[in-house]
Structure 1
Amino acid sequence: MKKSLFSTLTTTNPPTNNTHELKEVVLNVFEQFDLQRKLQETHILNCWDQLMGEAIAQKTEQMFIRQGKLYLKISSAVVRQEIFYAKTEIIKALNAAADETIIEDLVLLG
């Protein structure tokens, strides 16, 4: 009797030494592709509005993280200057939100 693909996939096989827990596999994939850092970077970008407030968030036109640097394009010269002077405190607050040092520098784009 010929087995169907479904019956082959649903057949329970006894555990072998190659059996890994799903958690272990997922953590391994995260490590191999540096996904944990990317998730933390995304978390930082998503926290920007909350950490900086509505006024600064509205003036933020573009932001991205590359190689530990947060790049910001701000539409207001006044807000850009405020961010420049508070750069160290902003970096500390963003890294605190990620519970790890993700941002090492902040770069303001024209």
Structure 2
Amino acid sequence: MKYKKNDPTSQRRSNTYTVGEAIKDLLNVYRLQGKFDETRLVDSWEQLMGKSIAARTNKLFIKDKKLFVQVNSAPLKNELKLSKPKIIEIFEKEIGKDIINEIVLL
């Protein structure tokens, strides 16, 4: 079966979106993009920092562009304190945006 050039089923309409574009538009319209990025960052903590660090982390949340991390190991807390700029850089590289400005260790 041959399609005609003017047949609407043979051509993609210019006003169609991919699912990814539709979700991105939805997040922007409802102003949820920032919260979505924060949640994505918290969920990727284990992947970005490693299993050993994630196993010694009790709580993790973001408030006012500050990442709060509760660590149950004093030596690890000291290492994270010294590595704050590098951790922020890793997160910016992963998410691609300026989501956090500071890390607070609890």
TM-score, with structure 1 as normaliser = 0.71
Cα distance in 1 for partners of 2:102, 2:91 equals 11
Q: Percent identity?
A: 32
Aligned: 1:96 with 2:98: no
TM-score, with structure 2 as normaliser = 0.74
Structure whose alpha-carbon radius of gyration is higher: 1
Alpha-carbon displacement from aligned partner over 1:59-99 (angstroms, at most 9, x marks no partner): 00001001100000000001100100000000110121111
Which of 35, 52, 57 is 2:32 aligned to?
35
> Which amino acid is the alignment partner of residue 96 of structure 1?
K
Aligned: 1:53 with 2:32: no
| Deviation for aligned residue 1:47 | 1.2
Gaps of 5+ in 2: 1-15
What is the DSSP-based 3-state SS (H/G/I as helix, E as strand, rest coil) of the residue aligned with 1:71?
Answer: strand
* Higher normalized helix content (fraction of residues): 1
> What is the total number of aligned residue pairs between the two structures?
89
Gaps of 5+ in 1: 1-20
